[in-house]
A and B are shown apart, each in its own frame.
Chain A
């Protein structure tokens, strides 16, 4: 294979390569998997952008949601400035690009969705309401319950990590339990519940693209709020768009890209940009794409597109 073909293949799979590289980088403590221990170095001062459990044996940094809850659940119940600083930083720069390109659990869902099944789904019944669920999870399990459901010592618990987080079960629980017989002896109803949540999401991921990110992820809910203002954001070039609908058909999250290119649910997978025949979906902060411009026909999208038109760029 020539260098050009390798470059083309890498470009085509850039997102998967970035996901793999970031998952390997943030879980680079290989000895942890072999010994069934977690990393105890100073790197855990810092948070990674995606949902990456700090109890994963390979994790070299902290999970931002776990860190947020760790400060909230302390006896003093401090406002979690430190974790919020990380969330604001990653959110302002990338928005939900973190979900599409940097989150290890997003990668797992992407790979599962590549497995062929008889019918892939674009949405579930009650999709609009289901998508609001992640905000309820954020409010209820990440913010309110850790503050109000206290034990006798006045300490809260990280309720999202405890009863929902499938990343903790997959990257933390399963590898640690596999290599630690004493931990296996402590298994109970909670692990059974968390394993059931994980299994349900694994099964759903085969049919539907990224069910956890769509409906449940509180981290995605936070980053989604930044999508309209983040440095990485999209715009529609009205001069090029012919309203052909290719972007909407290509969107695996079933979003109307033309109307809302910075929708809070968009994980910046780039499917719409690849699908647009006119290069009308652009990054706000990047030079215009090199795709050929098409002549905008009078009267908008009705009528045939007259084809490419050479434009002399300044």
Chain B
């Protein structure tokens, strides 16, 4: 059986991942993530 046939579900999920990723980036969510990540997360370190 070929690699594609054996991994149909995984490949479909990878395509879905690419779509989600592109949609999220299109909605500017990468900037929300960056903004959160470059500032000290007080909740994460147990202060806020």
Contacts and interface: CB of A to CB of B under 8 A. Distances in A.
Interface of A: 38-42, 44-45, 47, 53-55, 59, 61-63, 66-67, 70-71, 74, 78, 80-89, 91-93, 157-158, 161-162, 165, 168-169, 172-173, 176-177, 183, 186-188, 190-191, 193-195, 226, 229-231, 284-285
B21 A82 contact: yes
B17 A55 contact: no
A235 to B, nearest CB: 10
Given A45-B30, A82-B29, A161-B43, A89 B10 contact: no
Between B14, B20, B21, B22, the greatest number of chain A beta carbons within 10 A of the residue's beta carbon is seen for B20
- In the A-B complex, the 6 residue pairs with the smallest Cβ-Cβ separation, listed nearest first, are A82-B24, A85-B21, A81-B24, A88-B17, A92-B13, A82-B29
B41 to A, nearest CB: 4
14 contacts: A38-B40, A44-B34, A44-B38, A55-B45, A59-B37, A62-B33, A71-B33, A85-B18, A92-B10, A92-B14, A93-B10, A172-B45, A183-B47, A190-B48
A47 B41 CA distance: 16
A53 B41 CA distance: 9
Interface string B4-48: 001101110110111111111101011011111110110111111
B38 to A, nearest CB: 4
Contacts of A93: 10, 14
User: Which secondary structure dominates where chain B touches chain A?
Assistant: helix
A83 B24 contact: yes
Contacts of B30: 45, 82
B47 A187 contact: yes
Contacts of A230: 10
A54 B35 CA distance: 11
Between B16, B22, B43, B45, the greatest number of chain A beta carbons within 10 A of the residue's beta carbon is seen for B45
Contact of B34 (A42, A187, A285): A42
A263 B44 CA distance: 30
Given A81-B27, A83-B24, A84-B24, A74 B45 contact: no
A44 B36 CA distance: 9
Contacts of A74: 32
A44 B37 CA distance: 6
B23 to A, nearest CB: 5
A92 B27 contact: no
A91 B13 contact: yes
